Amino acid sequence: MILDGKIPSGPLHEKWDKRLSEMKLVNPANKRKHRIIVIGTGLAGASAAASLGELGYTVDVFCFQDSPRRAHSISAQGGINAAKNYPNDGDSIERLFYDTIKGGDFRSREANVYRLAQLSANIIDQCVAQGVPFARDYAGYLTTRSFGGAQVSRTFYARGQTGQQLLLGAYGALSRQIRAGTVTLHPRTEMLDLVVIDGHAKGITVRDLVTGRIGSHAADAVCLCSGGYTNVFFLTTNSIMSGVTATYRAYKKGAYFANPCFTQIHPTCIPVTGEHQAKLTLMSESLRNDGRVWVPKIKGDKRPANDIPESERDYYLERKYPAFGNLAARDVTSRATKEVCDEGRGVGPGGRGVYLDLGGAIGRLGENTIRERYGNLFEMYERITDENAYKQPMRIYPAPHYAMGGLWVDYDLQSNLPGLFVLGEANFSDHGANRLGASALMQGLADGYFIIPYTIANYLANIEPGAVAPDAPEFQKSCEEVEAFTKGLFAVKGKKTAHEFHRELGKLMWNNVGMSRSEASLKEALKRIPEIRDEFWKNVTIPGSGRELNQELEKAGRVADFLEFAELLTRDALQRDESCGAHFRVEHQTADGEAMRDDKNFSYVSAWEYKGVDKEPELHKEPLVFEHAHLAVRSYK
Amino acid sequence: MLLPTSTVGKKIMMAITGQVLAIFIFFHIAGNSTIFFHALNGYVVALYKLPLFVWGGRLVLFLAFVFHIWYGTVLKLENHAAKPEPYAKTRYLQATFAGRNQIWTGVIVAVFLIYHLLQFTFQVTNPAVAADTHPDALGRPDIFMMVAQSFRQIGISGVYVVSLAALGLHLLHGIQSSFQTWGMNNERTLPVIEKTGNVVSVLLFFWYCAIPVAIVLGLLKG
Amino acid sequence: MNLTLYVWRQKNSKDKGRLVRYEAKNVSTDMSFLEMLDVVNEGLIVKGEDPIAFDSDCREGICGMCGQVVNGVPHGPRKKTTLCQLHMRHFKDNDTLYIEPFRAKAFPVIKDLIVDRGAFDKIIQSGGYVSVHTGGVPDGNTLLIPKHDADTAMDAAECIGCGACVAACPNGSAMLFTAAKVSHLAALPQGRVEAARRVCAMTEEMLAQGFGNCSNHYECEAVCPKGIKVKFIAKLNREFIKAQMPGNESCTGRG
Ligand SMILES: Cc1cc2nc3c(=O)[nH]c(=O)nc-3n(C[C@H](O)[C@H](O)[C@H](O)COP(=O)(O)OP(=O)(O)OC[C@H]3O[C@@H](n4cnc5c(N)ncnc54)[C@H](O)[C@@H]3O)c2cc1C
Ligand code: HEM
Ligand code: SF4
Ligand code: FES
């Protein structure tokens, strides 16, 4: 089937305005009667729930943490982009649009990206009004920095805790609505099923993580803001509870999963230290503004970094990408790093690491300036590695970081299931095959503050509020299915923990479906994943019962979904027989190892329809049409 | 007005009353130090020539005490209720012995105060040396004799030194705490106020002890 | 290295709870404290025992989800470090560790080392925000904010809401947490408009949630993983006193 993204016609810069003027509104007196479920309290969920509550809808918001403020968005460090052009360095909506499209290697939807760039400036204003303490200069104006491969300075930041501050702003807005009674908060509650009635999303089934009670909630529309699925790789920069469960179970109920193979590997993470490790820690990309990345020129050079003379260092990013140097896009940088380590020139234990050296900058600007800019990152690095990065270069290595793929949505952020809206990292729409730094925060907030309030109204205006009673048989059935799934997990009574399976799956995915992929590695993964899954269902062990707080049960449920989802991701990677952005198929590269796109055959969004656990899903395509952007070979040289 | 019931309001009541009492503590010892110049009896007579001042002061002090004790007790009970279960292992990093025992040093001071009033104001504990019934050569109540005779008994001096230690501890925490409660702190002033408070508390303790100690050691004779 | 752990085990909020002894063997110094517990748990699960329940999510010191009391100190012995960022190299071979949940009346234990910190959300809900609507706001640069004020606001805004301050406070007071939010918003012009109402509502809510009063022990500052300073409590007190001044009739109680 050819999917329709419902993109408004007309010139690119008028599309959103056009859509806005076409959309129906909900009568203010009726808003209260419409019940909306929001899953997730990250930037996307919190901003959506707060804005919808403020408009007068009756909102229920869910998260599995104990407080909405702890959603994974809190960990974003670097910043948020906006085309404000405050520094007068030539930024514009058009440029932010083009950078994002190009960064995504021309695999995202033009109209969405343009709208994102248009809305970016409003986000900063909104956040300032909420009291987000963005960095300011001595004259009291907002300051920016250049970030993640951009040649203009358009990234707004709050020290190294931008995500935290933005989320606290949205959490404040949400808290205000909770107090006002428009939003009801359900913390420590996990969504385990989407309830679809007559093709429309009409509610969810959840497990109360404290009491273990399974129950349903009916609504007129459901907003999924559940974040990304990167933890399918096990060792990632994501929070450890982040899962694919919410989106995957919606997929199992008929929502299409788009571009699952587009996953981003972040180049600057602290290298792995051992088997015990539960997650990896990101060192903000902003360090690349002042840091230089290098490895020794000779293989297996065991000298301490400071003993290696300048002439024997290979600043490989500067060498390979003279124009962008240390600021080359994430996927490009990650692959170049993997390459030098594969050559045996990596540093640190296991040879999986390269130096990120701020020595030069410290010499030039002084330790104090560097401390002011990155002090908290240096501290974090020291806590983890016990090394002082003021004295010796940091060691970094790429790690899985972000999911560009997600549930398929149209221009209105509505999935193929009417009434199911998908926001933030959980959808697929804006970042194509690779996300530029500081653009995920922007997308989450654009979706939640400035898009969903209008588009959801357009849907709700056409349906009758409360049309489905909470005691409809579909809810009953959904609860029974979830109960049965839980029982099934307990029934295995095997010998291995869910954690072990997750680690095993993660290793396989990292090695075979990670930074570079080949037909052979993907086919092997497609063979291995079902094997691991079978073993899981024969040999996993979960202590306790489902009628209490049971973290092992939660984990096992998430791992079970990853074990199915991994197959989908791999299948998508196999199907996409080209290299683009973060999706690097070794079969398709230029002579000097750069990704080779195949616009003729693969300029589409792949959207998968579920057909059963061991059945092949069906592929639907949404062709990508570029009316405005000129398809170019992405070059950072 | 939330002042008297709110969490900060109650603390402000503590700080006002505590500071009033602390100021009294200072003037009290300053006045009493006339004893070192053999002028105690004269000082007392002079003081009583100002009945408005004496009775006004007494009223303020009485109210300060009542409110201080009332709010101190309320705070303590609320704080106790807010932390019902202790840790199996407790370690304090910054809270001082003085601070944690504020209520108990306060209780010691209160009990002592009653004794002190009965002894020197109402003069009922040792009628044999009561100043009001034993005038000095000039016909004034012989306060000096009463004090000296009392303190010559090691036991009584001991009670005073212990109670004054309690008062010292109370102020050790109390002085800096009251400034924080008033909001008169920032990163720079906090350490200064803490140190000044400590020095003042310790000085007051020694100053107060000087009288009984001097008498016990026989340095102050009539 | 090897460690002896005494861990608080409590099945649910009704259970009485007790300390149970565990041995942690071959602990690597590169592990974080939580990874050490992960490994202990893996051992328990394989033996069919209930693993030790504890909260964590980001594991990089920012979400504020983790937190336990280790040998009497919330977040353990290292200054300005959350438990998830505390590495085992800061312990010695054969150490004995007492691991207990954050304790306060306002933080009831849910299970083992997990407590309910919902009371913090309630404090924020009572007024810990600027009451701005989505949309219709002026350009971010129309409000000039002196760098010093923006920095002060950020110093306070770094609070991660972990609750260690409450756990450490002998009075179970939430003053540092509340003060951080009050000070963050009071330092900015956007927040000043509601400053009086906010400080009153939040302090009242704090009391209503069962937190104690501040006795200025500063134990909170000593354990705060983000280094939030008690000068912000003084700031809260100042804001409170200002709010009592005539003309602030908005200061009437719980938001
Ligand atoms: C270390 C790190 C640094 C980053 N730095 C930056 C940066 O500098 N700039 C930038 O733009 N982006 C950055 N990103 C990316 C960005 O943070 C995320 O993409 C973004 O915050 C995602 O927001 P979200 O609202 O979509 O989802 P999340 O913040 O992930 O929120 C997901 C929410 O869904 C809830 N949820 C999920 N599943 C369920 C379920 N089954 N039931 C109930 N609730 C559920 C969770 O409780 C949570 O509240 C960074 C990411 C990481 C990992
Ligand atoms: C001359 C006698 C006293 C003086 C000078 C004095 C002084 C002070 C001062 C300055 C404070 C600090 C206030 C603050 O924290 O803001 C204080 C606190 C306190 N006082 Fe007193 N006090 C005296 C007697 C008492 C008595 C008799 C009690 C008896 C119950 C008492 C109980 C307390 C308590 C419990 C506190 C701590 C309150 C808290 O922080 O929770 N005090 N005192
Ligand atoms: S003030 Fe510090 S200790 Fe208290 S909640 Fe905030 S970060 Fe945690
Ligand atoms: S787990 Fe997030 S702060 Fe420790």
Nearest to residue C118, comparing CAs of B81, A40, A65, A53? A65
| C203 in the same domain as C175 | yes
Closest residue in C to A273 (Cα) is C30
- Spatial separation of the C-alpha atoms in residues A45 and C81, rounded to whole Å: 29
Residue to test with chain B: of C6, C151, C218, C250, most B Cβ within 10 A: C218
Whether residue A392 sits in one domain with residue A278: yes
Torsion of CA A190, A193, A195, A196, to 10 degrees: 140
Q: Annotated catalytic, A330?
A: yes
Residue A423, domain member (yes or no)? no
Are C78 and C86 contacting, i.e. CB atoms less than 8 angstroms apart?
yes
Q: And the tokens for A569?
A: 């991701």
Mean pLDDT of C84-95: 97
Query: B192 — contact with chain C (CB < 8 Å)?
Result: no
**C98 Cα to chain B: minimum distance (Å):** 7
Please tell me the pTM assigned to this model.
0.97
Instruction: Find all residues with CB under 8 Å of A219, minimum gap 6, and list them.
Output: A35, A36, A37, A60, A202, A203, A204
Mean pLDDT, residues A596-616 taken together: 96
Residue C90: per-residue pLDDT: 96
Instruction: Report the pLDDT value the prediction gives residue A183, as an integer from 0 to 100.
Output: 98
How many structural domains comprise chain C? Answer: 2
Contact A184, A178 (CB under 8 A): yes
Does the structure show a pLDDT above 90 at A331?
no
* Across A253-280, average pLDDT: 94
Average pLDDT over residues A508-518: 96
Are A392 and A300 in the same domain? yes
Q: What's the CATH number where C17 sits?
A: 3.10.20.30
Asked if residue A66 belongs to a domain, the reply is no
CB within 8 Å of chain A, chain C residues 68-87:
78, 80-81, 85-87
Could you report the per-residue pLDDT of B51-107, keeping only the tens digit for each? 999 999 999 999 999 999 999 999 999 999 999 999 999 999 999 999 999 999 999
pLDDT at A517: 97
Question: Please, what is the angle between helix A498-513 and helix A519-539, to 10°?
Answer: 170
- pLDDT given for residue C253 in this prediction: 56
Report the pLDDT value the prediction gives residue B111, as an integer from 0 to 100: 98
Cα A371 from Cα A529, distance rounded (Å): 45
The token pair at C244 is 């009592």
Subunit partners of chain C (3 or more CB pairs within 8 A): A, B
By three-state DSSP, how is residue A458 classified?
helix
E-strand stretches of C105-253: 109-111, 114-115
Instruction: Report if residue A509 sits inside a domain.
Output: yes
Question: Among A399, A419, A446, which residue terminates a domain?
Answer: A399
Q: Contact at 8 Å (CB) between A392 and A220? A: no
Asked if residue C163 and residue C51 are part of one domain, the reply reads no
Residue C84 in contact with ligand 4 by CB distance below 6 A: yes
C-alpha–C-alpha distance, residues B106 and A110, integer Å: 73
pLDDT at residue A76, rounded to an integer: 95
Helix (H), strand (E), coil (C) string for A166-195: HHHHHHHHHHHHHHHCCEEEECCEEEEEEE
What is the average pLDDT across B174-183? 97
- For residue A488, give the 3-state DSSP assignment: helix
| pLDDT score recorded for residue A375 | 84
d(CA A217, CA B143): 82
Q: List all residues whose CB is within 6 A of at least one atom of ligand 3.
A: C 159-165, 176-177, 180, 224-226, 228
Q: How buried is residue C95: exposed, middle or buried, by Cβ count under 10 Å (0-12/13-18/19+)? A: middle
Interface of C with B in 153-212 (CB under 8 A): 168-173, 175, 200, 203-204, 206-207, 210-212
Confidence of residue A408 (pLDDT cuts 50, 70, 90): very high
Q: Which of A54, A65, A73, A74 to mutate to test the interface with C (most CBs of C within 10 A)?
A: A74
Domain containing residue A278: 266-399
b or e along C188-206 (b: 16 or more beta carbons within 10 Å of the residue's beta carbon)? bebbeebbbbbbbbbbbbb
Count of all residues that appear for chain A in the document: 637
Question: SS3 sequence, A217-272?
Answer: EECCEEEECCCCCHHHHCCCCCCCCCCCHHHHHHHHCCCCEECCCCEEEEEEECCC
From CA B195, how far away is CA A604, in angstroms rounded?
71
Cα A172 to Cα A182: distance, rounded to the nearest angstrom: 14
User: What is the model's pLDDT at position C254?
Assistant: 55
- Are C11 and C99 in the same domain? yes
Chain C residues closer than 8 Å to A142 by CB = 140-141
Mean pLDDT of A449-456: 98
pLDDT-derived band at A264 (thresholds 50, 70, 90) equals: very high
Question: What's the confidence (pLDDT) of residue B30?
Answer: 97
Range 198-237 of C in CB contact (< 8 A) with A: none
Query: Is C255 inside any structural domain?
Result: no
In a domain, A123, yes or no: no
How much is the pLDDT for B2? 59
Please, are residues A578 and A588 in contact by the beta-carbon 8 Å criterion? yes
Mean pLDDT, all residues of chain A: 95
| d(CA A402, ligand 1 centre) in Å | 9
pLDDT value at A237 more than 70:
yes
CA A278 and chain centroid, separation: 19
Alpha-carbon gap, residue A600 to B212, rounded angstroms: 102
> Residue C247: is its pLDDT beyond 80?
no
Q: Rounded to the nearest whole angstrom, what is the distance from the C-alpha of residue B50 to the centroid of ligand 3?
A: 54
Name the more confident of A478 and A374. A478
Query: Residue A323 — pLDDT band, cuts 50, 70, 90?
Result: confident
* Domain CATH code at residue A571: 1.20.58.100
Helix C195-208 × helix C175-186 angle, to 10°: 170
Range of the domain at C196: 117-132+139-244
Are C and A touching by the rule of 3+ CB pairs within 8 Å?
A: yes
Cβ-based contacts of A47 with chain C (< 8 Å): 134
Give residue A253's Cα distance to chain centre: 22
Q: Which of C72, C105, C168 sits opposite B89 (nearest CB)?
A: C72
* Same domain, residue pair A484 and A588: yes
Residue C254 domain-assigned (yes or no): no
Dihedral sign for Cα atoms in the order A556, A489, A63, A198: positive
CB A281 within 8 A of CB C82: no
Identify whether C250 is part of a domain. Answer: no
The predicted pLDDT at position C251 comes to: 64
ipTM over 0.85: yes
B1 confidence band (pLDDT: 50, 70, 90): low
- What domain count does chain A have? 2
Pair C85, A383: CB distance under 8 Å = yes
CA distances from B138 to B34, B42, B134, B142, B145 (A): 17, 10, 11, 9, 13
Same domain membership, residue C170 and residue C70: no
Tokens representing residue A313 in the block: 């260092």
Q: Are C111 and C12 in contact (CB under 8 A)?
A: yes
Say whether B9 sits in a helix, a strand or coil.
Answer: helix
A208 pLDDT above the threshold of 80: yes
Please, which pLDDT band fits residue A327 given cuts at 50, 70 and 90? Answer: confident
pLDDT in tens, A47-83: 999 999 999 999 999 999 999 999 999 999 889 999 9
Task: Taking residues A401-405, report their average pLDDT.
Answer: 98
Taking alpha carbons only, the member of A219, A164, A162, A211 closest to residue A39 is A219
C-proximal residues of A, 124-183, CB under 8 Å: 124-131, 133-142, 158-159, 161, 164-165, 168, 171-173, 175-176, 178-179
Residue C96 in any domain: the answer is: yes
For chain B, report the end-to-end CA distance as a whole number of angstroms: 55
Instruction: Name the pLDDT band for B168 (thresholds 50, 70, 90).
Output: very high
Same domain, C148 and C224: yes
Q: Give the pLDDT mean for A361-377.
A: 90
Cα C164 to averaged position of ligand 3 atoms, centre (Å): 6
The answer on pLDDT for A251 being more than 90 is: yes
Query: Looking at A383, A399, A415, which one is the last position of a domain?
Result: A399
B170 touches chain C (CB under 8 A): no
Amino acid at A17: D
Please give the residue of chain B at the shortest CA–CA distance from C98.
B89
Interval B191-220: pLDDT, tens? 999 999 999 999 999 999 999 999 999 998
- Let me know if residue A620 belongs to a domain: no
The active-site residue, picked from A35, A95, A292, A330, is A330
Residue among C11, C38, C130 minimizing CB distance to A130: C130
* pLDDT band, residue A196 (cuts 50/70/90): very high
Instruction: Give me the CATH number covering residue A319.
Output: 3.90.700.10
CA–CA gap between residue A79 and residue A442 (Å, rounded): 9
Domain residue spans of chain B: 7-216
Residue A499 lies in a domain: yes
- Across chain C, mean pLDDT equals 96
Take atom 40 of ligand 2 and give the residue whose Cα is closest. C215
SS (H, E, C) A14-79: HHHHHHHHHCCCCCHHHHCCCEEEEECCCHHHHHHHHHHHHHCCEEEEECCCCCHHHCHHHHCCCC
Would the pLDDT of C255 be above 60?
A: no
Main-chain dihedrals φ then ψ at residue C21, nearest 5 degrees: -90, 135
What is the per-residue pLDDT for C72? Answer: 97
CB neighbourhood size of C246 (10 A): 5
3-class SS at A551? helix
Q: Which residues of A touch C125 (CB under 8 A)?
A: 175-176, 178-179
DSSP string, B49-94: T-HHHHHHHHHHHHHHHHHHHHHHHHHHHHHHHH--S--SS---SS
Task: Tell me which of A376-385, A393-402, A486-495 is least confident.
Answer: A376-385
Nearest to A456 by CA among A118, A142, A144, A201: A201
Residues within 8 A of B (CB atoms), C 61-100 only = 69, 71-73, 98, 100
| Whether residue C104 is found in the same domain as residue C163 | no
**Cα gap C251→A566, rounded to integer Å:** 55
In this structure, which amino acid lies at residue A288?
R
Report the candidate in A168, A598, B43 with the shortest Cα–Cα distance to residue C156: A168
What's C216's domain CATH number?
1.10.1060.10
Cβ neighbours around B76 below 10 Å, total: 19
User: In the predicted model, is pLDDT for residue A440 greater than 90?
Assistant: yes
| Residue A409: C-alpha distances to residues A252, A603, C59 (Å) | 16, 17, 31
Question: Quick check: is C207 in a domain?
Answer: yes
Distance CA A263, CA A155 (A): 22
Nearest-CA distance A179 → chain C (Å): 6
Give the Cα separation of A9 and B119 in Å (integer): 97
Q: How confident is the model at residue B187 (pLDDT cuts 50, 70, 90)?
A: confident
Q: Taking 70 as the threshold, does the pLDDT of residue B222 lie above it?
A: no
Looking at the domain assignment, is residue A368 inside a domain? yes
Q: What are the Cα distances from residue A543, in Å, to A243, A452, A482, A632, C39?
A: 21, 41, 18, 55, 16
Question: How many Cα atoms sit within 13 Å of C164 on the Cβ side?
Answer: 33
Say yes or no: C111 contacts chain A, CB-CB below 8 A: yes
| Predicted pLDDT of residue A633 | 79
Q: What is the CATH number of domain B7-216?
A: 1.20.1300
